[in-house]
Structure 1
């Protein structure tokens, strides 16, 4: 809908070009949302109710669970609603979705670095772990994560709010994200693109480098383990973590480090599904539910119910 020359609401195309897949996609996204919410809530409750898990590693995992719930709850309910009823979203609703999604995205990328640093200290510098990863340090790192990500999304949303949208109101995507929104503006978007590029270099490329470097030191320490079984278990854990981290960072870098003019409808939708729906569902399985200590705490919690 247009008010003069200004957009008052957007039409989200979503997956309308694939009407034959509407029911399977609706069922798939509903399952992903339910799995992400239940898995992350289960992790939060299990860790909170188990004093043995009140350690830095699980502290960051609780923060990761909060971020995943924020991310999926920002995107998937509206997507499901648009697939069942209408495909419109108000201007204010679109900007709110952009704000909370960008907040969760930045927090997730920063948390991966904090978690990698925690594992680096635990494995490579175990004698300094209690000093370097004490409660105050963990709280400080978590505060930095949420503050930087909040500042980042405030800047991007503020820059988006200053743009007029008068050429079209059709978003060729399934939610309000920076690249497809920039394509709709009838004003220069160089500043928005420059800020998105700078944020991606810092949050994605920078944090990915820190994460990979940390795991590089971790792998070097693992190779010194004499026990073959110890090496196998350590490599199994690290490889699973690296798969999720690489999948998440690579898709984010692909989406945000390019100019908006190169935005591709179908390809970018598939990429976005990975970091908005698939990764938040996999994180509880890979980071915690495969963990022996979490399994024990979960059994105790369920036995008390």
Structure 2
């Protein structure tokens, strides 16, 4: 009977050593403070539900593209996208959705070709990068986390991964917002200032980026059976209060975000042996998270 008791005694003696853990790491200067996380308003969050119940959440940018976002809100309120589909997936480029037939009438209050909201006069970036950008004289983040660029005269939203734009025909068409696309590949910055960028996917990119690529021209699905049905698109403000998703963006106008950006530009050992010494705007998009 002594041996089991001795074994238990040895185990008990070993427990404190096993339970000991390294002290928590000291806070980094790049860590966000609680006040840095700001709510995305319900009226600025689009919820797209696809076949299988998969959901894609899109933050809208009404400050930069007010006419197009107004159209998009009207389309969501009219349930216009219900029963439409994803009909184009072009590898390393975009996933596009809307009415594949292009025959579905728009709601009467939707403007078919609103103003070309491709750029604006002022620059409201509050961060800066160590190295220049090949597509702009300067790039940075707005205080509320949008990737912005300027040539010193006009400013615009950058076509980064996950950004959402308005599909259009040849100019002077500007697109109503009924057909939208999300960037799923390397940032196509050559589209900057040529198309209205209305928002950014903040969750659910896997349901857009992992789809089979279309075999037709520009990634169009050649067979209707390949279309990915859209069950519904709603503003979060249209949903019952207890069903509304809650997201927060990280504010960029503070020293903590500046430190975060510096870390993105200067990756450290042990993994990184050669830091880049810089980053582009699309490699350092401001974080967005689910509200705790």
> Of Structure 1 and Structure 2, which has the larger fraction of its residues in strand?
2
TM-score, shorter chain, exceeding 0.5 = no
Highest CA radius of gyration, 1 or 2? 2
The structure whose residues are more often helix, as a share, is: 1
TM-score, normalization by structure 1:
0.29
